[in-house]
Amino acid sequence: MIASVIIAITAVRIARVAFYELLDGSVAELSQQVKESASRVEGVQLVEKVHARKSGQTYHVDMHVHVAPEMSVQEGHALSGKVKAVVKNTHARVRQVLIHIEPGTNKTGKTEAGSVEPKLK
């Protein structure tokens, strides 16, 4: 009877870890480490919404990176490539990095370079 209780408890512990990974659970410690690495890249104003998910023996990371709002799409794309390279080189088990570029703040504190109000008809 005692042996079956021990086996059941062990099975639940093992299954919990497996289900967490299968249900796309985020790894908080790695997410924080990736956030710190990405934040050190020149041109990055803020890193948020970082999610690291296990996929086999490696991890997939998603994050939002805030950049200067006047930055061109080409410059933002180049910066995201630098952030990806830093994250992959710093964290060997990270295989894939998906970065969403967000407009940060400029010197005046505004979040957009040139806001245009849409005209409603």
Give 31-99 as a DSSP string. HHHHHHHHHTSTT--EEEEEEEEEETTEEEEEEEEEE-TT--HHHHHHHHHHHHHHHHHH-TTEEEEEE
Q: Which residue has the tokens 């180049």?
A: 78
Sorted by where each starts, the structural domains of the chain and their CATH numbers stand as 26-103 (3.30.70.1350)
pLDDT tens-digit map of 76-116: 999 999 999 999 999 999 999 999 999 988 766 665 544 44
Q: Taking the model in full, what pTM does it have? A: 0.71
Q: Whole-angstrom Cα distance, residue 47 to residue 82? A: 14
pLDDT tens-digit map of 21-79: 555 556 889 999 999 999 999 999 999 999 999 888 899 999 999 999 999 999 999 99
